[in-house]
Chains A and B, each alone.
Chain A
Amino acid sequence: MEKLVERFYGAFAALGVSSVVPQVTLMVAIAIAMTLFISVSVMFMIWWERKISAHIQVRYGPMRVGGWHGWAQSIADGIKLLLKEDIIPAGADRFVFALAPIVVFAAAFAAYVIIPFGPNLIVRDLNIGVLFYISISSLAVVGIVMAGWSSNNKYSVLGALRSAAQAVSYEVPLVVSILGVIMMVGSLSMVKIVEAQQGIWFIVPQFVGFLIYLTAAIAECNRLPFDIPEAESELVAGFHVEYSGMRFAIFFLAEYANMFTVSAIATTLFLGGWRGPLLPPWLWFLLKTYFLIFIMMWLRWTLARLRVDQLMNLGWKYLLPLAFLNMGITGLVLVLRG
């Protein structure tokens, strides 16, 4: 991959053009590639979710669209959403209403900069890799509050404020559980974290951290059992009740992209990233990530929804002290080992 980039730059230098042109072209190409990957991945995940939910509920799910087990269902759904009428509620703040899905999607999309698909397949190996994801994920909360407020709908505002409270509450155990891994590695860079798992994957020493991370990540993605902000039967689907058509599709896309990001980071931090014996590294990475996504979907269709006070209880009274205990014990062991 690096050789290709060098030859690309060399071609432009030979033409006598300044190095800004290949830089910008490369950035645009990578962004387009990432967008395509996210779209295909999300379409697959939507179809997969419907299939998994169907089989858990002893039925078949999509079977007709496209022939074999309805694989083209997501494409049909996407086209349907694109063709819907764009409705903006009367009295809504038009600018903020239009901006909110873009902010949420931008937050979900920007996190793909640091996902290591393979040894050289990372957009940019930032020095502050994991911290970059944590900061960008806090931008999505602002987008959700904007969406809820601008809809001029009491249920939207309530749902958005609940979602903001949930996201902010579960960010803290998420970060503290990541800190356990970071302490063992000594660096925030994603590539170095994967390289540090040569001997043993971090899920073994940091098993409690892995469980806390998974729980907090499911809460951050607003998935069941932490579904209160956007469940269809709660507050009439919460903050995105007034959104229809393409704007709703962008929220949907952002949620599934977020699921992929969170699972990818769990794979990198706890499951050894792209390490594995026989298959190519990127295939291992995708397999592990989709395995974690399968677990998230499995949990969704098995567990009941938590009430909002139970949710906050779990986050602040159970997960956070457990995460601090984990971090403390990790630090103690690291200091004693010298």
Chain B
Amino acid sequence: MTTAHVVFYLLAAFTVTAAIFVVLAKNIVHCAIALVFAFFGVAGLYVLLDAEFLAAVQVLLYVGGITILLLFAIMLTSLISARGVRIMNEQVASSALVVIIIFGLMTFASLKGIAFVGPPPPPAYVTASLGRLLMTTYVLPFEAVSILLLAAMVGAIILARREREKD
């Protein structure tokens, strides 16, 4: 039971607990905060997988960007302190059944072909190689994603704008 094992189990327990809170919490702002913890757990797992750049990008974009977006939207829309509001719809039992079946199938299918061995030695210069890949082999998807982000930004602004009163 090496240090890596202990750290992995701690991070995994932390992330799964946070995820369960996200799905089950009554107050939607508590959900958002549990989501922040889940993102941090996943970032920790990325560091364990020698993907430090991705861990930093995960915290920067998810915690610093998407969580703030979610909190803004929650404050603009939800009835947060209303009592007696159901949070789950009427298909809880059937969803649970479906989810358990799919989970079982996916675990069975994915574990069939994976050898239970440890990782090869860590690659050197991960961030530099990642940068080089993004600028050479994957430059076309990179540019396409930037155009997608521009389109999403413009679209979100137009969708969220108040209607101008026409006179």
The answer to whether A and B touch in the complex, with CB atoms under 8 Å apart, is yes
Give me the interface of A with B, judged by CB distance under 8 Å.
Answer: 20, 23, 93, 95-96, 99, 126-128, 131-132, 134-139, 141-142, 145-146, 149-150, 157, 161, 164, 168, 171, 188
Neighbour of B60 across the interface among A126, A135, A164, CB < 8 A: A135
CA distance A95 to B27 in the complex (A): 12
User: Given the complex of chains A and B, what is the CA–CA distance between A323 and B68 in angstroms?
Assistant: 24
* Chain A residues closer than 8 Å to B56, beta-carbon distance: 128, 131-132, 134-135
- Closest chain-B Cβ to A315's Cβ sits at a distance in Å of 16
The residue among B52, B53, B56 with the most chain A CB atoms within 10 A of its own CB is B56
Contact of A142 among B52, B60, B68, B127 (CB under 8 A): B68
Which residues of A have CB within 8 Å of B127?
127-128, 188
Contact of A128 among B53, B65, B72 (CB under 8 A): B53
Stretch from B29-37, B102-110, B137-145, B150-158 forming part of the interface with A: B29-37
Give the residue name and chain of the B residue nearest to A100 (CB): B33
Interface contact A141-B30, CB-CB below 8 Å: no
| A127–B64 CA distance with the chains assembled, in angstroms | 21
Shortest CB distance A149–B (Å): 6
Please list 14 pairs of residues, one from A and one from B, whose beta carbons are closer than 8 Å in the complex, sorted by A's number.
A95-B30, A127-B52, A127-B126, A137-B64, A138-B65, A141-B68, A145-B71, A146-B71, A149-B75, A150-B29, A161-B72, A161-B75, A168-B65, A168-B68
Give complex CA distance A157, B29 in Å.
13
Is the C-beta of B42 less than 8 angstroms from some C-beta in chain A? Answer: no
Q: Is A149's CB under 8 angstroms from B29's CB? A: yes
Chain B residues within 8 Å of chain A by Cβ, number: 22
Q: Is the interface of A mostly helix, strand, loop or mixed?
A: helix
B61 to chain A, nearest CB (A): 9
Cβ-neighbour of B52 out of A126, A136, A161, A164 (below 8 A): A126
**Minimum distance in angstroms from B135 CB to a CB of chain A:** 12
Chain A residues near B65: list those with CB within 8 A: 138, 168
Q: When the two chains form their complex, are residues B60 and A145 in contact, meaning their CB atoms are under 8 A apart?
A: no
Which residues on A sit within 8 Å (CB–CB) of B126?
127
> B126: nearest residue on chain A (CB-CB)?
A127
Residues of A with C-beta under 8 A to B27: 93
Closest CB in chain B relative to A2 CB, distance in Å: 21
Chain B residues numbered 49-82 whose CB sits less than 8 Å from any CB in chain A: 52-53, 56-57, 59-60, 63-65, 67-68, 71-72, 75
Within 8 A of A (CB), among B8-52: 27, 29-30, 33, 36, 52
CB-defined interface of B101-135 with A at 8 Å, one 1/0 digit per residue?
Answer: 00000000000000000000000001100000000
User: What's the nearest-Cβ distance from chain A to residue B124, in Å?
Assistant: 10
Q: Which residues of B sit under 8 angstroms from A131, Cβ to Cβ?
A: 53, 56-57, 60
Judging by beta carbons under 8 Å apart, are A99 and B52 in contact? no
CA distance A207 to B126 in the complex (A): 31
Answer whether residue B136 sits at the interface, using C-beta atoms and an 8 A cutoff.
no
B146 at interface (Cβ–Cβ under 8 A)?
Answer: no
In the assembly, what is the distance between CA of A128 and CA of B109, in Å? 36
- Tell me the complex Cα distance, A26–B52, Å: 22
Closest approach, in angstroms, between the C-beta of A295 and any C-beta of chain B?
A: 27
Q: Which residues of B contact A142 (CB under 8 A)?
A: 36, 63-64, 67-68, 71
- Could you tell me if A96 and B30 are in contact, using CB atoms closer than 8 angstroms? yes
Give the residue name and chain of the B residue nearest to A99 (CB).
B33
Instruction: Determine if B94 is an interface residue (Cβ-Cβ < 8 Å).
Output: no
With A and B bound together, what is the CA distance between A99 and B32 in angstroms?
13
User: Knowing A96-B33, A131-B53, A188-B127 touch, does A136 contact B68 (C-beta < 8 A)?
Assistant: no
Contact check, A128 vs B52: say whether CB atoms are below 8 A apart.
Answer: yes
Q: By the criterion CB–CB under 8 Å, are B60 and A134 in contact?
A: yes
Write out the residue numbers on chain A whose beta carbons fall within 8 Å of the beta carbon of B29.
Answer: 93, 96, 146, 149-150
